[in-house]
Structure 1
Amino acid sequence: MKATSHAATRAQQRGIPPIVVDLLLQFGQREHDHAGAEILYFDRRSKKRVASYAGALFSKLSEHLDSYAVVADGQIVTVGIRYNRINRN
């Protein structure tokens, strides 16, 4: 999935590696934000799937598993680090 220039800039500023964004797209939990976009984040279940997929690499990635991505119109709009819970619908 293509990322906007804003999303690429934010990922770099916030220290989120591209592999974490790819893992979010592949394994992340999706919630609608009721504004036409989806929020992708790692919940307990998706973290377990990433652990089984990544193996030994998981320990290096675990510090970045509080990240989220916002996807709209088939592209990544922004990425960030969660400090609060995602409101589930």
Structure 2
Amino acid sequence: MKMTRHATSRAAQRALDYLLLELSLQFGEKISTPDGKQLLCLSLKMRKKLARKLRQLLQQLEKPAGQFVLTTDDETIITCGHRTRKLLKEV
């Protein structure tokens, strides 16, 4: 995500978490402004849905095995799955 200096400054002043901004970009309701820009807002319904999903993800993160993702250099996903044994040397 690219941010202007102004946006970076405002996010810091207002204690807005980077991940919440990403969620707004991914799942926010888009409202077009008169000057052609997009305003993105997370509705209450979407925030509740995301909160439920995040609770599920937290449960998965606490499982011992976890998952893996194999990618190319440009981050194209080749395959993914659940870890059943120790993989290559962990970084």
What is the TM-score normalised by the length of structure 2? 0.55
Hey, which bits of structure 1, 4+ residues long, moved more than 6 A?
none
Task: Determine which structure has greater relative contact order: mean sequence separation of CA pairs < 8 Å that are 6+ residues apart, divided by chain length.
Answer: 1
Greater helix share, structure number = 1
How many residues are treated as equivalent by the alignment?
A: 57
Structure 1, unaligned stretches of length 5 or more? Answer: 58-89
Q: Which moved more, 1:48-57 or 1:15-24?
A: 48-57
Greater strand share, structure number = 1
CA RMSD of aligned residues (A): 1.9
* Identity over aligned pairs, percent: 33
Once the two structures are superposed, residues 15-72 of structure 1 have per-residue CA deviations (whole angstroms, 9 ceiling, x without a partner) of: 1011110110111111001111010111123213311332279xxxxxxxxxxxxxxx
What is the TM-score normalised by the length of structure 1? 0.56
3-state SS, counterpart of residue 40 of structure 2: strand
Structure 2, unaligned stretches of length 5 or more? Answer: 58-91
Q: 2:6 maps to which residue?
A: 6
Q: Determine the C-alpha separation between the residues in 2 that align with 1:9 and 1:15.
A: 10
Q: 1:45 maps to which residue?
A: 45
Q: 1:61 maps to which residue?
A: none
Q: Determine the C-alpha separation between the residues in 2 that align with 1:25 and 1:52.
A: 19
